Amino acid sequence: MHRTLNSSVLPATAMLIMLVLAAGAEAAITVEIEDRLQFYRPGQSLDGMVSIVYDQPVPSAASVVAYIDGAAVSSQQASAYEGNATFQYASQPFGYNITAFGTSLWNETPRQYFSYSFKANGTRTDGSAWSISFGDVTPASVNASEGLRFVRNTSLEFAPPGDAKNDTQYFEVSNGNPNVATTMRAACGKGKAYANNPITDEGWVIPLGFNPASWNQEPGTSNRFTSIESFDNGSLREGFRMFGGPRIFPHGGIYKTPQGSSTPVYQRFGTNAVWDGKTGYIKIINFDSLAKYEITYLPPNGPVLCAHTPAVVPNSTQWSVPAAQSGSVKYPETFTKAYSQQELASLLPLPPCPAYVKPSACSRRVDMHGVAETSDPTNGVEVSFDQAALQVTAIASSPVSTNMRAFSIGFDNFLNLEAPGPLGNHTVSFSLVSQGNAVSSGSANFTVCTDNDGDGVCGGAGDCNDNDFSVHPGAQEVCNGRDDTCDGAIDEGLPVGQACNDWPGSACKGVYVCSTDGSAACNGPGPSAIEVCGNNRDDDCDGLVDEFGQIVEGIPQTCETLCNPGDTRPCGGPSVGECRQGVTSCINGRWSAACEGSVGPLPEVCGDLKDNNCNGQADDPSVCQPVSTCRNGLQDGDEQGVDCGGACQACGGEDTCSNGIEDFDEQGVDCGGACPVKCPGEAGLMPIITVGVGVILLLAAGAFIFYRKRMHRGALLPGGEGEEELR
């Protein structure tokens, strides 16, 4: 009994192996046919191999006869090949996991705790100063994900005096945590608004309806001006960034986007624009009616206490994603399976980041791939993996024998084994013949056609391009915009047209397109060598927006602290009065905390004619009482000499002691100093002189009396006269 498997029922992508069993299940000799092409041109030699598989002796003098459509073509003696017979081995199944090992990276934002108090001061309408201090220290906290966080609205607890001028200033007292910056603003916080304009999480305002076209026009010019709400004047300064913002623009300021451009251009003070944050005055110089104008600023000083921290702690987690795979190998063959990056990306999807981390703040990367054997029923398969080539290899290290032997004869050993002339289906068959009888036979069908490209598939038998050897059923589909496998689909199984490098802020976003090597490649721009700060884009395409990945002194750098060695920038307050603005330098990629050359405000020193507290007024009248210039040892005011002349009088001998004013060296009005009249409460030297003269007169009187007694006694003693009188 013979069973023949028709090759037409097998997929065109597999090699046709025809197994014919002689004498049913108890057959001991079989014929296997491998037809490699299946489709042939007329006269083309058939390409394949016939194998005789047996577990009993092959009859002596047996031959292997080849037939085309039942007609014998040629034969070969079996004994000529039997000496090359080898054992047959069973196919050994196995299983393995291919695994992606990777890392997820993100920054934790630990809560920063601090304490605070605040104060306010200003001047009254009469020019006197007022001040309110809150001594209670209050605890609070903030983390980096909250931006500029609203902490407290102090206007709900106190108000400036009723007669206060519109110059109230609010101050926060140092909070003790160097990782927290506190500031007093008119408004801040998520969901808050200032002057009906929304505030970003970072505390910045981008006013709605900022349209200079509707402003007043300065006569004789193309300038436009208006007044909006008050704003922090310094926040419009070029290069000014604070609290992680602004996000949309490189820094605070007024921006102009010319027609046809998508890049906003900063408008410099005095050249392109003029502004005054206190009054809200803004002027656009040489207004361009075709351009778009925008502004971003921080709200001005106010009663709302706000807090911000940039403190982040890098965190990461290791992960692995396995995928179960299987295969089989038969000794002495080798199993190989190469994976493409696209195939692995589909097979091994990256795991999500922790649920509490924003996807835009988390990056994931595959560090390596690995393979581990998971099943080996015969305990005889070894699996290995080439990381560089992404290829799995398996060998049967302990082969399993079937107790069968086999020898093979190539089709090319049979003379005239060629495709016949008539087009259509034909049969090739082989029989092991002994003494005129077929011991075992096998056959396979093949097709003769006009195969112009010689790829083994006829144009009329499914080859959709019979002039291209690489296009036919069973070919490999490559990325080229055509149907290589003739199955009606173009580039199937490839991600052509799908988005790639597509995550929030990605500068490398694109779509998969076909590359010259036949693979699908992303057409997006390549990553930038460095992260550009402040553009809200992931320039280096590592999954993080506006970060800078260097580690400096153990601190991961962000765009807020990024700088180049040798860079400097202003710091401290403005140069007003005795105050001087300083500079801070870039050290190891970070802005130094030291503000070199900065001189801050000091308590006002009255009478030195200097603006010590840097409020724009020398000898601040809100602090210092008026002092007469007529007793300061200087020639000032309208004096014609040192403390004389003008309002001081008394230069050149002029009498100042009766002019009704306190001048020259007087200690009161027309008293004290050179004036003979003493001022109330002024003792002077007269009491001392009077007492001294009195003492001298008393001593003189006593001496005179003593002298007279002595003289009188001397006159009586010689003669003894008058003794009675003296007694």
pLDDT digits 0-9 by tens, 326-354 = 999 998 899 999 999 889 999 999 999 88
Which of the four pLDDT bands, split at 50, 70 and 90, describes residue 632?
low
Structure tokens at 723: 């003794």
Q: Residues with Cβ < 8 Å from 714, sequence gap 6 or more?
A: none
Mean pLDDT over the full length of the chain: 82
Q: Rounded CA gap, 642 and 104, in Å?
A: 80
Q: Rounded CA gap, 248 and 534, in Å?
A: 7
Which pLDDT score is estimated for 6?
A: 33
Which of the four pLDDT bands, split at 50, 70 and 90, describes residue 720?
very low
Decide: 197 and 207 in contact? Cβ < 8 Å: yes
Structure tokens at 294: 């925008």
The more confidently predicted of residues 3 and 674 is 674
Residue 80 φ then ψ, to 5°: -70, -20
Q: What is the pLDDT of residues 580-621, one digit of tens each?
A: 888 888 876 567 778 888 898 888 888 888 888 888 888 888
Could you tell me where the DSSP H helices lie in 156-206?
none
Which of the four pLDDT bands, split at 50, 70 and 90, describes residue 419?
very high
Q: What is the pLDDT of residues 558-583, one digit of tens each?
A: 555 556 667 888 888 788 889 988 88
Which of the four pLDDT bands, split at 50, 70 and 90, describes residue 7?
very low
Which pLDDT score is estimated for 157?
A: 80
Q: Rounded CA gap, 110 and 114, in Å?
A: 13
User: What mean pLDDT comes out for the span 294-299?
Assistant: 94
Which pLDDT score is estimated for 3?
A: 33
Which of the four pLDDT bands, split at 50, 70 and 90, describes residue 5?
very low
Asked which of 88-97, 196-205, 481-490, 707-716 is least confident by mean pLDDT, the reply is 707-716
> Which residue has 């911000």 as its token pair?
308
Q: Rounded CA gap, 403 and 565, in Å?
A: 77
The more confidently predicted of residues 209 and 258 is 258
Indicate if the pLDDT at residue 421 is higher than 80.
yes
User: What mean pLDDT comes out for the span 51-75?
Assistant: 91
What is the distance in angstroms between the CA of the first residue and the CA of the last residue of the chain? 196
Asked which of 489-493, 495-499, 656-660, 687-691 is least confident by mean pLDDT, the reply is 687-691
Asked which of 89-103, 159-173, 470-484, 626-640 is least confident by mean pLDDT, the reply is 626-640
Percent of the chain with pLDDT over 70: 82
Give all strands (DSSP E) within 460-544, no chain letters.
499-500, 510-514, 520-522
Coil, strand or helix: which one is 429?
A: strand
Q: What is the pLDDT of residues 518-560, one digit of tens each?
A: 888 888 888 876 666 656 777 778 777 766 544 444 455 555 5
User: What mean pLDDT comes out for the span 689-710?
Assistant: 66
Q: What is the pLDDT of residues 104-151, one digit of tens each?
A: 998 888 899 998 888 999 999 998 999 988 767 788 999 888 899 999
Which of the four pLDDT bands, split at 50, 70 and 90, describes residue 460?
low
How deeply is 242 buried, as exposed, middle or buried, from its count of CB atoms within 10 A (0-12, 13-18, 19+)? buried
Asked which of 128-137, 534-543, 655-664, 703-712 is least confident by mean pLDDT, the reply is 703-712
Which of the four pLDDT bands, split at 50, 70 and 90, describes residue 668?
confident
Q: Residues with Cβ < 8 Å from 9, sequence gap 6 or more?
A: none
Decide: 252 and 231 in contact? Cβ < 8 Å: no
Vertex 50: Cα angle to 330 and 408 (nearest 5) = 60
User: DSSP letter string over 631-698?
Assistant: GSSS--TT-SBTTBSGGG--TTS---TTSSS--TT-SBTTBSTTSSSPPTT---SHHHHHHHHHHHHH
Which pLDDT score is estimated for 722?
A: 36
CA 140, 142, 147, 148: dihedral to nearest 10 degrees? 20
Q: Rounded CA gap, 586 and 510, in Å?
A: 36
The more confidently predicted of residues 582 and 639 is 582
Which of the four pLDDT bands, split at 50, 70 and 90, describes residue 629?
low
Indicate if the pLDDT at residue 8 is higher than 50.
no
Residue 666 φ then ψ, to 5°: -65, 155
Nearest Cα neighbor of 239 from 282, 269, 200, 276 is: 269
How many CA atoms are closer than 13 Å to the CA of 348, on its beta-carbon side? 27
Structure tokens at 61: 């003098």
Which pLDDT score is estimated for 695?
A: 65
Asked which of 273-282, 409-418, 621-630 is least confident by mean pLDDT, the reply is 621-630
Asked which of 54-68, 197-211, 609-623, 656-670 is least confident by mean pLDDT, the reply is 656-670
Percent of the chain with pLDDT over 90: 36
Which pLDDT score is estimated for 385?
A: 96
Indicate if the pLDDT at residue 2 is higher than 50.
no
Please give the model's pTM, rounded to 2 decimal places: 0.41
Cis peptide before 422 (omega within 30 of 0): no
Nearest Cα neighbor of 662 from 638, 631, 621 is: 631
Which pLDDT score is estimated for 414?
A: 96
What pairing do the DSSP bridges indicate for beta strands 273-276 and 91-108? unpaired
